[in-house]
Every structure is written in structure tokens, then in C-alpha cells.
Structure 1
Amino acid sequence: MSSSLIPTSTPARLTATAAVKLPRLVLLVVGTIYILAGLFFRDPWKADDVIGLATMLTALSDPSGQALLLPQVGDLAHAQDGPLTTWLGALFITLFAPLLKLFTSELNANIVASRLPNLLWFGMLAASVWHSAYWLARRPEAQPLRLPFGGEPSPTAYGRMIADATLLLTVATVGILWRMHETSEVPAIIAFQALALYSLVRMFERPASGAILLGLSLGACFLTRGWLGAGPIMLATVLCFIPRGPLRQHSQWLALSAVLTLAIIMAWWIPAKRVSVYWTEQWRLWHLAAWGWAGFKEQLNNLRDLLWFLWPIWPLALLALWQWRSWFKAPHIYVPAISFIVPLISLLFMRDAFEPEYALLVVPCAILAAFSLPTLRRGVVNTLDWFAIMCFSLTATTVWLGWIAQQTGWPRQISHNIARQTQGYDTFISWPVMIIAVLGTIAWISLVRWRLSTNPPGLLRGTVLSAGGLITTWLLLVTLWMPSLDYVRSYRDVSGELSAALREHKQPGECLRSWGLGSGQRASFLVFNDIKVNFDNRCTLVLEQFSLRDLQDGKAPIPENAVQLWQGKRGPDRHEAFRLLRVSAQ
């Protein structure tokens, strides 16, 4: 941005005392608790979580290597997204599972090893987000108004404050909390988008290295989630280099980024097409089916879901766009704004858009939200502090109350509702886990007491409260409630029952096919007991998934040419069930 366009006044009003930075140890502790809580000591859940692990295990068990190049779930093609998460997950299982097997079963060792890449994804996300916000906030266009007698923060202090706030707001975003802990492509695409955004910011000062990093990150975005994930990021990138874009003076470097991106894509696509025309054609058809004009009802559903997915950062992001509207072309607003607007508009042209698509909005939204903070009046900041205290104190209390009801039977109505959802579950108390939950609660109480007793001048106190409150609630959920959640959502037990039935009834040479079996269920049976199904109509064993309501209504009869060998379901599930049939050979 030329010096003639640098504004002499900005909507940011901030003193040096309000721009105090957080100790690095605080950010480290917050990030560590955030990513480790809920990552281990649980089964993979339906659907993306267990499907991601299934593609990794299939790749390792395929001697031909085709499942490593072209992701599969057992013998069935998983022709969507990209292979990058499968590659890295398989690598981590190969490296770390043998060591983990010394302490646990082979299955649990594979599950733990497959989630280790999430530490890499979160580390990449945190570093990219922090440095993107830091360098954008140091730019002259972003500086707060100079005070008549001095006392405004230095560019370095201001940049650190905005960067800390951005990272805390990212962590405080409700929608990605669970997604960052699952074995799927979602954590990876968020991390690579953040890296691509940092590459754009880096190009203002170091265009060569920024262009190289941009090309690598865009190529990685494609290998992670195909065109569905990479397309909006690539389009937003190009719009930063248009004649009126902030990076127009470095547009010649975009060619280098494009060449690197294309080279990465072709390095996978050319051999993939040679190995399996069927897989690549299915991949192309899946992408074509994903794009299309979403109906009005679907757009309303997306808007409704986005309001909670991006909570609590979306109101602050919209406020930033309004407060900095006269500075829209400035890099610190334009780059994150265009990175937010393009994926948002792309949702209008996606059928069945959901959380993996919403995830592309989080990083740019968090950066914009951070730039709204220095524009807020003190009364508004205090109101946000009180809202965070009340909101997360209520959620933490609710988690504790539900756990007490489950353990003691009081309050009776809450206990009855929980028992209905966890039918067959035997409650117990794990004292080490309970101690962690108590310590987390004490930490939250101490944080609230710090805010109420000291009234700190730092502008970051609201973001600290939001991040701390969400992490406390999450920590309570994954300590007090993880056994119950695992019981409700895991397919380990029903998969074991099916495996036993197959050992009893399967005859030599028989194969297994499925009727109405969902992709998440298919992946679960593969992960837990290596049960593989296919679509060969000559298979005489059939695994059928059906609705219990249909069974009660007489709409799910056993076919005349079939004999039921086994029927089962997850203990608390009141909807889906499975049965193993033997049908007459065709």
C-alpha cells in the first residue's frame, strides 16, 4: 500500500497499558491443554473420524500400494478429498505404533498413533495464525490512533497483542473444537489454509520465500481436500493480486506459486490416473456432485449452523468489517476479509455443505475479530467479559450437574434423561480423571476471580476468558463424560459381536456384502475387527443396516431367500441396527 493511501487516523484506540502481551507460557499451556484434551483415550467415532483411520489402516495392509496412492476403506474406493492425511497417518502408525504396542493392544496403538499428526496440524495452525496477525498488525495502516501526549503502544507491542488475541479467539471458536481432535482431513485443511494466509502476509516483506511457501501450501490444500477445500482458498489468493489488491506489486511472484502448486497436483494426479481410471473418475464425479446451487432452505440451514459454528468470533469479525470499512483495501483487513468472504460465498454453490466447508471461515474470521478489539469502547469490553464469565460458568456447571445426576440419580429428571440416552452403561468414578476435572474447574474459578478482583487493564482479558471458559468446558466433557460418550458413539462392541458371528457362520470361500450400510459403519467394522465388505452380488453373506422403527412397523422384513444368522446394535442406539443374513446364491 502506497504511503499516500496510509490513513492518518484509524478506528483503533489503545494505550500501551491495554496492549500488554500474554506470557508465552500461558499460550503454551492453553494450546497444550486444548489439543491434548480429548485427543487420546477414546475410540474413533462415526463418521469422518473413523473413516480417516480406516483409509490409513487399509493403505498399510495393501501390498500393492494402490490404497496409499488412492485412499480406500477396505476393498471400496474412498474417492473424495485427497490422500495427504492418509499418507501422514500411515507414516505415523508405521513409526510409532510398534513402540505403543509395548503398552497397549495393537488396535489401540494404531488409534493413538493415527492421532499424532493432529499435534502437527495444531502446531502449524497456531504458528501460522499468530505470525499472520502479528505482521499484519505491525503494518502502518493498522496502527492505533496516536494519542495527544503519547502513550500509544509500539508497533511490536500492538502486533503481539493482536497476535495473542487471534490465537485465543481461534482456540475459543466452538465449531472446530471437536474437529481439531478427529482423524480426518479437517484439521489439516485448517492448518494449510492458515499457512497459505501466512504466506500471503510474508510476501509483503519477502516475496520470494512467501511465493514458494504459498505454492507448497496451496498444493497441500489440494492434496488434503481436493477442489472442494482448495478451490475457495486459491480464488481468495488470486484476488489478493488483482490490480486493486494489496499484493499487486508482487503479482509476478504469483506465477512461481502457481507452478509449484500445479507441480504438486500433477505429481499425484498423473500416477493416480494411470493406476486406476475408475478411482479418478469417481473422484471427479464426487466433486461435480458436490458443487451446485444450494436451495433456499439449505442456505438458511447453513446460516443457522454458521451462527453456532463460528461463535463467539463472528460478531466481532462483522464489527471489524464495519469499524474498518474505510480501510478495507489495507492489507490487515483485505487479506483476511477476502479469505473469509470467498469461502462464505462458495457455500451458496455447494450441495450439503457442512462443518468441513465451514472450517475454512475460522482462521480469517479470527484475525478480523482480533482487529475489532482495539475499536471497542471500554463499556463494551466489560460487557463481553461478563458475558464470557456467565456463559462458560453456566456450561461448566451444567456439565458437573449432569455428571452428578448420572452418578447419584439426582436431580431425578436429568438422571432419567441421561439414563435413557446411555441405556446399558455401567457408571463408575475414575478418581485420577475426576481430579483433573476438579483442577480444571479450580483454574476457571481462579481466572474469574482474577478478572473480578483486579480489573486488569489489558485488552486481552476478554479473549482469555473466552478461551479459558471453552477449554474448561471441553476438559470437563472429555474427563467426566468421555466414558459415556465412548459407550454411546463407539462401534467397538457391536463390531466384536459381528466378528464372532462371522467366525461362527462364515464358510470357506464365502464373502460378505452389504445392504444399506453407511460409510462410517463400514469403516468402523474394518477398524475394530478387520471386517471387509464389498458390492459383489455373488456374495451369499449379507450385512444389512436397518432402522428399528422400520422393523417395528413391519417395513424391514427378512427376504424370503434369506436366513438371519445374527442381529445386533449399539446398546443405547434407538434407531439403527444390523443383521447378518445368508441368502441363496444367485
Structure 2
Amino acid sequence: MVWLKAIIRHQRLTDWICENPGKICIFIILFWTFVGQTGHDPWKPDEAHTFGVTLGILKQSEWIVPLLANEPYLKHSILVYLSSALTAILTKSFFPLHDGARLSAGLWMIVVFLFTAFSAKELWGGKSTWLAPLILAGSVGLLVRGHQLTPNIIFLAGVAISIYGMAVAPRRPIVGGIGIGFGVAISSISTGLVDPWMIILFILGMMLISPLYRTKHFLISIAIAFLIALPLISIWPFFLYTTDRVLFFEWLNIYNLERMRDIFILSSKDRFFYYIGILPWFSWPAWPFAIWALWIARGQGFQRREIQLPIVTFISILFFLTVSGKGREILALPLLIPLSLLASISFKNIPRGATNAFYWFGLMVSIFIVTLCWTCYSAIELQHPRWLGDVFLKYQPFYKSNPTAQQIIAGALGTIVWIALLFNLKKFSERSAIVWTSSITIGWFLVVVLLFPWINSIKTYRYMVEDLVQHIPSNVECVSRVRIREPQRAMLDYFGNLITIPIENRFKSERCNFLLAEGEWNAERYLIDKWERIWEGGRFGDEKERYYLYRKKNNERP
């Protein structure tokens, strides 16, 4: 280790990193953001149907009514589809449509990191400005979800902007009002009118406990926020109403009012303790440092706005998610921002033993991840070690190994740069945070470069759809469907240009001579007798999710 350090360590580089840790963190965050945004097909569930609606915009130039495989899809508002369609159009010369669309998620993540840094600078300044987004990027729960094309990433950006608006409002009411207004508006036109209530909750919470938010200046901020948010929120619903009133009221009643009502109705399916249960791993390593920050601030510190705002924000978001009863980890993303803000101030007074322990823990984890990635790559692509290669082959027997020099060179360069960074970091309290996030980043990079081809072969619907459409004549009038869900419908449209009609729509589906079903079709016997099965398939290695194609018997065709 000493001889390696002597070769890699350069005093001038070491001094520069020590003097400019913020610039190193910017590089790490940018690298983290865009690695993994390209190079794989849309994966279910969230990415597949989100891209499916984006594809509807690109194919039909329908910018008002979200369409998934030619059918209205109103579960989320329009912003995620518009932004992803825009990046897909701008980058279509360089990337496939799905990769270009996914790049919009990276741009929204930049907004998240930027406004997290702004909030930390406003609350505490100094090293917290770059530590807060660095800790956020190092959060385990954000690693995969932060690289997916989903409305929740845009909602996260809205939360980050709103928190900054609240942080700056006591000092600059107009700027604060603009931040709150845009934050609420972006949140509302990303996931709908229900989720932004968690923002309203922490605004009301701060007004309740802090006199700084019960002044005329803050009322000015609220007024400005209202004047900005209301028109922005109303634009798309107005155009939807003028385009199709039935769809507008479906969106308003089913996906907003009924969803709000369901929050207050108890159900056996509610998972009230889900988010508390996932926090220990989901928010690692932010939560232990946040707890230490609270310990440091005990007593008079809790009366300071700088401490109150992250606490109230976290409690408000957790309360809303818990009461809603919906247990999905992607919904917990907003919890990471206030925890990262609190964690960023803990490094000022953290004991040396604790920061050294975290440093070595991060180092050991990263060495394990890097070694594991290279070992798995060797097993998958080179069948060495043989026993591990057989394990991967058993799990995915249809994968064809194709090792490339580009993969090996890119992975090796990334590993070398990471090692060089580790050996050129001086000892200072924030070093452990840099080591952790850089290690998480290099681990993700190696997964993307070395293992994504194998992972994508398991998760993609491309090969299944390509095989399916070969059994359907090109001049077929229509294909009806049974139990085909939104992600699969989107991928049928994208990979096979295949639009299906629900069998419940008797007027249209009775004309169809082909029927696609997920799982065994348990219809009435007299109906089954009219059809013959001509194809069965699914994703490679997936024996649970099976699809069946039926064709009407000759004497039953219209």
C-alpha cells in the first residue's frame, strides 16, 4: 500500500484537492448524475409507462392529452412527459429516443442538487454548501431512483426549490416567494395536486413554530408564491378542459380528489410504518450524521430557524407519507433533502474517531463493490471463475456474452481515477463524506459499464416483443388484450409498434382476430373455444410473467 501511495500521490494535486474540495464535489455530483442515464432500455414499472406517454407525444404530437399506446393516461400531470420529449427531440441525433428522454431526469437532478446547495448556503454557508448535495448524492435510496425517468424526480426538484424558498424568505421575501411559488407549481404539474400538500404542511409548520415566518415580510413571500403558483398550475388543466371536458373531470376527480379522499380512509392495505422501516438503509449515511447534528444543537439550537426548517420539513413529509398509507420507496425521496441538510453541519464537531470509522467503512464497502463488479463481469463475459459464471448462466441462460475492449478500458480508467482520488485526499473531517460518495459513484459506474448489458437482457421487453410481432401479420386490423398493464403496453408500442384494444371494449375488440393475454386466459369455455393459442413468451429468464397470443379460429373470424 505504501509503494502504491508513493506512485499515485502527487503533492501538488493533493494540495489543490484540499484547497478546492467543493470543485471535486461538483465533479463527483455531475459524474454521478449522468452515469447510467443512457445505455439501457426502459425498465418497468415507472420508466416504462413514463416513456410510453413520452412516446405518444413524439409519435402523435399530442402535447395536451397524455396518451399511452393511443389511450389517455392521466395518472400524472404533463411536465415529466413534456420535458422528456424535449430532451429526446434535442438528442435524437446522438441517442435512442428512450435514452434521450431519460436525460431529462439528469437535468432535473441537477436542479435538485443545485437548490439543496443553495439551501445549505443560506442556512449555514461554508462547507455545508457542497457537503449537503454531496451527502444527498451518497444516499443509498437515491442511487437507482435518481437515474430513472419518473415524475417523482421532478417532484423532488419542486421540493428542493420550495425548501430554498423557505430558507431565504426571512432575509429576501421576494426571492423566497418566487422559490416557494415555483417549487409548489413544479411539484403540482409533475405528480398531481395531492403530493404538494407535503410542501404546504412544512410551510404551515414553520409558520406555527418560528416567529420569523409570522411577519409581514413572509406574508409578502406567500402572496408572491400564490401569484406565481396558481397560474402555472392552471395552464395544463385549462388546456385539458378546453380539449376534452370528460378527461379533465376524470383527471380531477379520480386522480386528485379521490386520491386525497383515500388518504383519510383506513384500509387493510395501508402500510403506515413502511417509511420508518426503510429509513435506516434508504437514507444512509445521512441519518446518523443528522442525528449527531441534532445532538450538537440540543437546547437553544432548536430555537434557530437553521435547525427548525430541516426538522419541520422532514416531519411534515414523513407525516404525509405515513398517513397516505402507500408504501413505495420512490415516494420517500423527498425525505433525503432535509436529512442531508442537517447532516452537512455535523462534520464541524464530529469526533475524530467517528469520522475515521466512517472513512474506513466507506473504503471497505467501496473496495468490496469494485471487486464484486469486476468479478461478476469476468464471470458473465469470460466465464471465469467458472462456478460463478454457471450461476449467472443458470439465472439468465439466454444471455450471449460479448466482452468489449471499450468496457474494460472505461472500467479500468474509472477505477484508476477513483484510486488516485483516494490517495490524494488529505486528512480532514469532511474527507469521509467525499470518500463515501465517490465510492458509491464508482460502484455505480462499474455496474453501468460492466454489468448493464446483462441486467438489461433480464429487464428489457425488446426481445419478447420482437418475437411476438413475428407471429402477427403486418396487415392485421387490430389486437385485443386481457390483463396487459401500462408498462407492457408502452413497450409493445415502442418495440413492436403494436397497439392493443381492451377486450372490455366490445365494439372495437370484436373485430380483432388476435388477442394477447398476460397469464393463462381464464375466460368462459364458450369464448375459449373460439380461439387457438399460437405463441407463448416472456422476458428471458422470467418464468412468472408469461404472455400468450391467441388467434380466432377460421370459422369465427368476422
Question: So what's the TM-score if we normalise by structure 2?
Answer: 0.87
Paired position in structure 2 for 1:531: 498
The partner residue of 1:570 within 533, 539, 542 is 539
1:24–1:315 distance in 2 versus 1, CA, 3 Å: closer
Q: Distance in 1 between matches of 2:470 and 2:327?
A: 38
Deviation digits for residues 431-465 of structure 1 (CA, Å, limit 9, x no counterpart)? 112112112222333344445xx5x1x22101101
Q: Secondary structure at the match of 1:86?
A: helix
Structure 1, unpaired ranges of 5+: 1-16, 101-107, 138-158
The answer to whether the 8 A contact 1:50-1:527 is kept is: no
Does residue 484 of the first structure (1) align with residue 454 of the second (2)?
Answer: yes
Q: Distance in 2 between matches of 1:329 and 1:307?
A: 27
Does residue 204 of the first structure (1) align with residue 204 of the second (2)?
Answer: no
The answer to whether the 8 A contact 2:34-2:103 is kept is: no
Q: Secondary structure at the match of 1:579?
A: strand
Paired position in structure 2 for 1:120: 107
Paired position in structure 2 for 1:269: 237
1:387–1:216 distance in 2 versus 1, CA, 3 Å: same
Shift in Å, 1:167: 1.4
Deviation digits for residues 192-243 of structure 1 (CA, Å, limit 9, x no counterpart)? 2111111222212211122123212211110011134312122212322336
Q: Distance in 1 between matches of 2:166 and 2:145?
A: 25
Q: 1:70 is aligned with what amino acid?
A: V
The partner residue of 1:374 within 314, 329, 348 is 348
Paired position in structure 2 for 1:51: 49
Paired position in structure 1 for 2:411: 437
Deviation digits for residues 397-451 of structure 1 (CA, Å, limit 9, x no counterpart)? 2222222222343444432322122221011212112112112222333344445
Paired position in structure 1 for 2:127: 161
1:378–1:407 distance in 2 versus 1, CA, 3 Å: same
Q: 2:432 is aligned with what amino acid?
A: G
Match runs of 1:35-46 below 5 Å: 35-46=33-44
Does residue 299 of the first structure (1) align with residue 272 of the second (2)?
Answer: yes
Paired position in structure 1 for 2:6: none
Paired position in structure 1 for 2:402: 428
Does residue 418 of the first structure (1) align with residue 381 of the second (2)?
Answer: no
The answer to whether the 8 A contact 1:21-1:161 is kept is: no
Paired position in structure 2 for 1:235: 201
Paired position in structure 1 for 2:76: 81
Q: Distance in 2 between matches of 1:307 and 1:543?
A: 43
The partner residue of 1:497 within 462, 467, 471 is 467
Shift in Å, 1:490: 0.9
Per mean C-alpha deviation after superposition, the further-off stretch among 245-254 and 377-386 is 245-254
Q: Secondary structure at the match of 2:517?
A: strand
Paired position in structure 2 for 1:90: 85
Q: Secondary structure at the match of 2:548?
A: strand
The answer to whether the 8 A contact 1:546-1:556 is kept is: no
Shift in Å, 1:295: 5.4
Q: Secondary structure at the match of 2:465?
A: helix
Deviation digits for residues 34-57 of structure 1 (CA, Å, limit 9, x no counterpart)? 122111122111121122211112
Match runs of 1:506-517 below 5 Å: 507=476, 510-517=477-484
Shift in Å, 1:473: 0.7
The answer to whether the 8 A contact 1:294-1:349 is kept is: no
Q: Distance in 2 between matches of 1:55 and 1:467?
A: 34
Q: Distance in 1 between matches of 2:487 and 2:470?
A: 20
Q: Distance in 2 between matches of 1:343 and 1:126?
A: 19
Q: 1:194 is aligned with what amino acid?
A: A
Per mean C-alpha deviation after superposition, the further-off stretch among 185-194 and 87-96 is 87-96
The answer to whether the 8 A contact 1:76-1:534 is kept is: no
The answer to whether the 8 A contact 2:362-2:439 is kept is: yes
Q: 1:126 is aligned with what amino acid?
A: F
Does residue 387 of the first structure (1) align with residue 361 of the second (2)?
Answer: yes
Paired position in structure 2 for 1:323: 296
1:296–1:329 distance in 2 versus 1, CA, 3 Å: farther
1:567–1:45 distance in 2 versus 1, CA, 3 Å: same
Q: Secondary structure at the match of 1:576?
A: coil
Paired position in structure 1 for 2:370: 396
Paired position in structure 1 for 2:435: 465
Does residue 220 of the first structure (1) align with residue 186 of the second (2)?
Answer: yes
Deviation digits for residues 137-172 of structure 1 (CA, Å, limit 9, x no counterpart)? 0xxxxxxxxxxxxxxxxxxxxx23111111110110
Structure 2, unpaired ranges of 5+: 1-14
The answer to whether the 8 A contact 1:340-1:364 is kept is: yes
Paired position in structure 2 for 1:7: none
Q: Secondary structure at the match of 2:225?
A: helix
The answer to whether the 8 A contact 2:515-2:551 is kept is: yes
Paired position in structure 2 for 1:27: 25
Deviation digits for residues 11-31 of structure 1 (CA, Å, limit 9, x no counterpart)? xxxxxx9x9764443123212
